[in-house]
Amino acid sequence: MTIAAPKASKTLQVLLVDDNPIQLSLLHHLFQRHGHTTLEAKNGAEALIVLATECPDVVVSDCVMPLLDGYQLCRLLKDDRATRNLPVLLLTAQGVGLARFWAKTCGADRFLVKGRDLDHVVEAATSLVEQTDRLRPLPGTPRLAQENFGVDAIQRRLAQALEQRVVETALRDSISRLYTVEHDTLRLIRGFIEILQELVLPGALLVTYLGEEGTTCHGVHGASASEEDRRALEAAALQFAPPGVPAECHWHPVDDGDERRRALRDPVMRVLPALLPGYPAVGALGFFAERRSVEEYERLFEIANEELGRLLTLEDSRLRLYHQAIRDPLTGLFNRRHILDMLKIEVDQCGRFGQSLSLMLIDLDHFKAVNDRFGHATGDQVLSVMAQRMSFGLRKVDQLGRIGGEEFLAYGPQTDLDGLRALAERLREHVTLEPLPGLPPNYRVTLSIGLATWEGSEDTLERMLARADKALYQAKAEGRNRVIG
C-alpha cells in the first residue's frame, strides 16, 4: 500500500543549491512530492544567476561547494537589499566543527545536518517561509545581477560583504560597551549619538527615551539641517511618546567638517521605534540625511536601532528596579531605608562643612479611625493623597519619605529650626484646605509634627531622630494638629 505525501498548505518555489547531482535530485523529488516547485543550481554562483530573474520563496543550499559555497552565498544574499528578507536554509553532512558557527555568522535563517530522512528539510523550509511571510522582498534587482557574474565581481562583493560584517560587529560592540561604562540615561544617549553621527551628518540625529518620569529628548545637527527640519523630526519622534506627557528636545550643533558641510540635495527623514521583541517601545531613533547615504547604510541604521532598543530597554529596566528599591509602592515617596540613607549623607555634610540641617517627623492624626470607619482601601487612598499634598507643600530642596504606617519624615538642607518650623506650619495648614476623596466633605485629617535640628559636630542622626520623635510625642500629647520643636 502506497501512502501519498501530505499536500502542502501553500505551494512554494524553492531554489535548491548543491554540487552533488544525487543530493540535488533527491531534494528536487522530495519537494515536488510535497507539492512544491523547484529551481536548481550547482553552486552559489549559479544560484546568483537564477536569482537575477527569479524570486523564490526560500533558498535551500549545501554548505560546501566549489567556486562559491553556501556560507558565501548566504552572506551575499543577506548583504543585498533586494534579497535580505529571502529565507536561507543551509544543509551540511557534518554537524561538528565550525559549520554551525559559520552558518550563524553569515546570516543563515536555519542550519540543518542532513540525515537519512530528508523530510525534515521540507518541514524546516516551509516553517521558514511562514515565519518570514510578512517580510516581503524589497524593491530592486540584486546588485550582482547588474554586473557580470565573473569571479572578479563575486570576489569584490564577498570582500564588501565581509567588510560590512566587520563594520556591523564594530558598531554593535561600540554601542554595547556604552552600558558597561555609563549608567546615566542622558550620558548613554549622548554616547550613542557620538557613535552614530558619523553615519548621519550632514543632517540631524535625534534620540528619545520614554521614561517613567517623562520623555528625554536629545539631538545633534549639522549646518545643513534647518530649524524647520529639526522641528519636523521632533514631531515625528514624539509620536511614540504617551499623550499628555510634556517633552522638550535639546538640540546641539556639531561641527560636520568642511568636506561634509553641504546642502542636502535629496533629503529623507526616518523615525524608527527603539524596542526589543516582546517589549513595548522605550524610545525612538530619528534622523534627517541624504537619501543615498540612508540607502547605502540602511543595514547599519537597522543595527544601530536594534542596539538602541536594547540599550534603552536595559536602562529602563535598571531605572524601574532602582525606583522599586527606593520608593514606597503606595505613596511613591522614598521608602524608609532610602530617606534615612539620604539623611545620613546630609548629616555627614554638616559635619564636614558646618551647614545647617533640620528634620521633621510627621504623623497623620487619628488615622486608625479612618481605616476602621471607612475601610483600608479608603485609608490607602487617603495616605496617597496626603503624601502628594505634603510633597507639593515642601520646597524643591526638601526631601520627604514614608518611614512606616502613617508616619513620614522630611528634612530641609541648609535650614535652621526657625525656618523649618515656619515650613511645617504652612504644611500643616496646606493639607487640610481641601476635602479628601472617600471621606465626608467636612472630614479632615490633620498632622502632628515633631522637629529637630543639627546641633554641632558631636550630634548624630540617631540623636536628631530621637529629639524629633520626642517632640512628635509631645505634639500628640498636647492635642495633636500642631508643630513642636
Question: Rounded to whole angstroms, how far apart are CA atoms 416 and 419?
Answer: 5
Among candidate residues 88, 347, 303, the one with its CA nearest the CA of residue 174: 303
Do 198 and 93 lie in one domain? The reply is no
Q: Residue 46 is part of a domain; what is its CATH number?
A: 3.40.50.2300
pTM here?
Answer: 0.67
Residue 145 pLDDT class (50, 70, 90 cuts): low
* DSSP reduced 3-state for 416: coil
The pLDDT tens digits of the residues spanning 244-277 come to 777 888 999 987 666 555 667 888 999 999 988 8
Catalogue the E-assigned strands of 187-345: 204-211, 214-221, 249-253, 267-274, 283-290
Do 171 and 140 lie in one domain? The reply is no
Question: Rounded to whole angstroms, how far apart are CA atoms 123 and 271?
Answer: 37
Please identify, among 265, 287, 322, the residue that sits at the C-terminal boundary of a domain: 322
pLDDT over threshold 60, residue 437: yes
- Known catalytic membership, residue 163: no
Do 262 and 376 lie in one domain? The reply is no
Helix/strand/coil percentages in the chain, nearest 5: 45, 20, 35
Residue 327 lies in a domain: no
The pLDDT, as a whole number, for residue 7 is 47
Do 227 and 255 lie in one domain? The reply is yes
HSE-CB for 443 with a 13 A CA cutoff: 13
The pLDDT tens digits of the residues spanning 91-123 come to 987 665 677 787 878 889 998 887 766 778 999
The pLDDT tens digits of the residues spanning 321-351 come to 989 999 999 999 999 999 999 999 999 989 8
Catalytic residue (one of 259, 406, 407, 478): 406
CB atoms within 10 A of CB 246: 7
Do 363 and 467 lie in one domain? The reply is yes
Do 243 and 285 lie in one domain? The reply is yes
Do 162 and 145 lie in one domain? The reply is no
Residue 17 lies in a domain: yes
The pLDDT, as a whole number, for residue 290 is 86
Residue 477 lies in a domain: yes
The pLDDT tens digits of the residues spanning 42-69 come to 988 888 888 888 889 999 999 988 888 8
Please identify, among 99, 118, 149, the residue that sits at the C-terminal boundary of a domain: 149
Q: Which domain holds residue 364?
A: 336-484
Residue 8 lies in a domain: no
Q: Residue 232 is part of a domain; what is its CATH number?
A: 3.30.450.40
- Count of domains forming the chain: 3
pLDDT over threshold 70, residue 309: yes
The pLDDT, as a whole number, for residue 132 is 72
The pLDDT tens digits of the residues spanning 374-402 come to 999 999 999 999 999 999 999 999 999 99
The pLDDT tens digits of the residues spanning 188-234 come to 999 999 999 888 877 899 999 988 778 889 999 988 888 999 999 99
The residues, ordered by sequence, that sit 6+ positions from 255 with a Cβ below 8 Å of its Cβ are none
Residue 388 sits at the vertex; the CA angle it makes with 387 and 393, to the nearest 5 degrees, is 95
